[in-house]
Chains A and B, each alone.
Chain A
Amino acid sequence: MPEWWLEVVLPSTIFGLMLILWIIIPPKNNEDDFGSKIRSLIIKMVKK
Chain B
Amino acid sequence: MTDVPSNLPRPVGPGAPSAPQARSLLIADARTRRRNAAEKRFRLYGILAIAVAMLALVFLLFTILRDGSSAFVQTYAKIPMTIEASIVDPQGNRDPAQMAKVLTTSYGKILQDSLARYLDDNDIVVEGLGDKDIQGFFSAQGRADMRQAVLADPSLVGQVVEVPVLTTSRVDGMFKGRVSRESAAVDARTSVAQYDLAMALAERGDLQTRFNWDFVTGTDSSDTRPESAGLGVAIIGSFYMMLIVLVLALPIGVATSIYLEEFAPRNRLTDLIEVNISNLAAVPSIVFGILGLAAFINVMGLPRSAPIVGGLVLTLMTLPTIIISTRAALRAVPPSIRDAALGVGASRMQTVFHHVLPLAMPGILTGTIIGLAQALGETAPLMLIGMVAFVTTYPSAPPQGFFDPASALPVQVFNWTQRADPAFFERASGAIIVLLAFMLAMNLLAIYLRRRFERRW
Q: Do A and B belong to a common assembly?
A: no
Residues of B bordering A, CB below 8 Å: none
